[in-house]
Chains A and B, each alone.
Chain A
Amino acid sequence: MTPTRPRYARIRQLVDELLTASGTRSAPVPVEKIAAHVGAEIVFRDFDENVSGVLVRSNTAPVIGVATNQSTERQRFTIAHELGHLALHEGREVHVDKLFRINLRSPSSSRAEDVQEIEANAFAASLLMPQLFLQKDIASIELDFEDPSRILPLAQKYGVSVQAMTFRLLNLFGSSERT
């Protein structure tokens, strides 16, 4: 089944269920433990060809291959991203995630695949930076999107990159009056 637009409500629901089922109540979210909880095996591997992660479902238990030549934060995001594909997208046998510049995107890449990637990224962001956790954390500090030094401690606490945290905060709390 291929959705035509990202199913954000469904993603929130799936993430909430996973966090509850794994007993996760605070950051950093134990993404490897959650993978184990859903029966996925994680294997770190030196992939070349710009591959950041691979989801293989040909085995009885799904296997997530994570590129070793990435930061810990990026590896956590990759695992969460592949968990998103696993939860949301019916399985082709092998699912490869690469980083491309958008202007090098192959003409054959279709909108349906874009939606799957958007969904997997939204899933990863929700899982690693749950809205409820962030609301508690930023209630106590004054949030300033323009000041990366304020975002850094938050990113470190959640085990994500500053860029990922900035993007998540803007998505969740970025006020529309700024436009």
Chain B
Amino acid sequence: MTDKETFYKALGSKIREQREVVGLTQAQLANAVGLSRTSVTNIELGRQRLMLDQFESICAAVGKTAGDVLGSAQTPVVETRNAHDLRTLPSVQNFVRELKQAKGKER
């Protein structure tokens, strides 16, 4: 899956989430923003890429700003690393170093 596909899937699920929070059906949302219900279905599934003005209309219809919806499209992304690869995360590097020192003292 490409990054774009991942992005539109995540965005679509956020749109769906917001629509469900306000209790609109796909048909009602489609009607409110002048799209077909099929388009809304496809947008929510990430299968259809939408124009910025369409996104803005959808956000308005669910009572959110575009920033709210994009901001909520946060996802925790794991970074799995070995201890020697923590240079860009000094606070974590220090944490791991201290744990190892503590372990050494126990011996």
Contact = CB atoms under 8 A, between A and B. Distances in A.
Interface of A: 43, 45-49, 51-52, 54, 56, 58-60, 63, 65, 81, 85, 92-103, 105-107, 109, 111, 113-114, 116-117, 120-121, 145-146, 166-167, 170, 174, 178-179
Contacts, number: 124
A178 B73 CA distance: 22
A179 B1 contact: no
Give the one of B1, B77, B99 with max A CB within 10 A: B77
Contacts of A146: 21-23
A174 B74 CA distance: 22
Interface of B: 1, 3, 6-7, 10-11, 17, 20-23, 25-26, 70-71, 73-83, 86, 88-92, 95-96, 99-100, 103
B12 to A, nearest CB: 12
B99 to A, nearest CB: 6
B95 A45 contact: yes
A103 B79 CA distance: 16
21 contacts: A47-B91, A49-B91, A58-B83, A58-B96, A58-B99, A65-B95, A95-B78, A96-B78, A97-B76, A100-B74, A100-B77, A101-B70, A102-B6, A102-B73, A113-B77, A117-B76, A117-B77, A121-B76, A167-B17, A170-B20, A178-B25
A60 B82 CA distance: 16
Contacts of B82: 92-94
A49 B99 contact: no
Contacts of B17: 167, 170
Interface secondary structure of A, over-half rule: mixed
B81 A59 contact: no
A86 to B, nearest CB: 13
Given A100-B76, A102-B6, A121-B76, A63 B99 contact: yes
A54 B92 contact: yes
A100 B103 CA distance: 32
Contacts of A97: 76, 78-79
B79 A96 contact: yes
Give the one of A58, A106, A107 with max B CB within 10 A: A58
Nearest to B100: A58
Given A58-B96, A97-B78, A100-B75, A114 B6 contact: yes
A174 B82 CA distance: 40
